[in-house]
């Protein structure tokens, strides 16, 4: 439900350029404000659970530090970003969980 609401309420996408003028500047500012609000909502809803998952995986010895999305996981653990808004990150968490056995011990191959 959260993600459906997020997608349904998304304003026009900005182009991310700080030097935009006129209508594009208004669109960029609205998109930036919208994204900041969604981050706060997401953190309120998912932060403790998702941060705990990553911390437990790391504590069990799962390497969460490889790949282009690793900084996102680290930012999430530090409380700076909500990965609940990043569907591919949720998929990565599911894949990382396969590195643990039924007793929470690291599986090595």
Residue 83: per-residue pLDDT? 66
Read off the pLDDT band of 31 (50, 70, 90).
Answer: confident
Q: Return the H-helix or E-strand segment holding 97.
A: helix 87-97
- The larger pLDDT score, comparing residue 71 to residue 30, is at 30
- Please say if the pLDDT value at position 37 is more than 70: yes
Share of the chain above pLDDT 90, in %: 1
| Beta carbons of 34 and 10 less than 8 angstroms apart | yes
Q: Return the H-helix or E-strand segment holding 109.
A: none
Q: What is the pLDDT of residues 53-70, one digit of tens each?
A: 888 888 888 877 655 556
| Beta carbons of 12 and 30 less than 8 angstroms apart | yes
d(CA 80, CA 34): 17
- Please say if the pLDDT value at position 103 is more than 70: yes
Distances (CA, A) of 72 to 49, 66, 67: 16, 11, 10
């Amino acid at each position: 439900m959260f993600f459906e609401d997020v997608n349904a309420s998304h304003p026009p996408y900005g182009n991310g350029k700080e030097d935009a003028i006129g209508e594009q500047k208004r669109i960029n500012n609205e998109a930036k404000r919208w994204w900041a609000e969604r981050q706060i909502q997401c953190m309120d809803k998912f932060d403790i659970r998702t941060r705990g998952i990553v911390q437990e995986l790391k504590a069990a010895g799962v390497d969460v530090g490889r790949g282009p999305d690793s900084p996102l996981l680290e930012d999430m653990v530090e409380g700076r970003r909500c990965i609940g808004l990043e569907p591919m990150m949720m998929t990565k968490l599911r894949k990382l969980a396969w590195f643990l056995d039924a007793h929470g011990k690291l599986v090595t191959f």
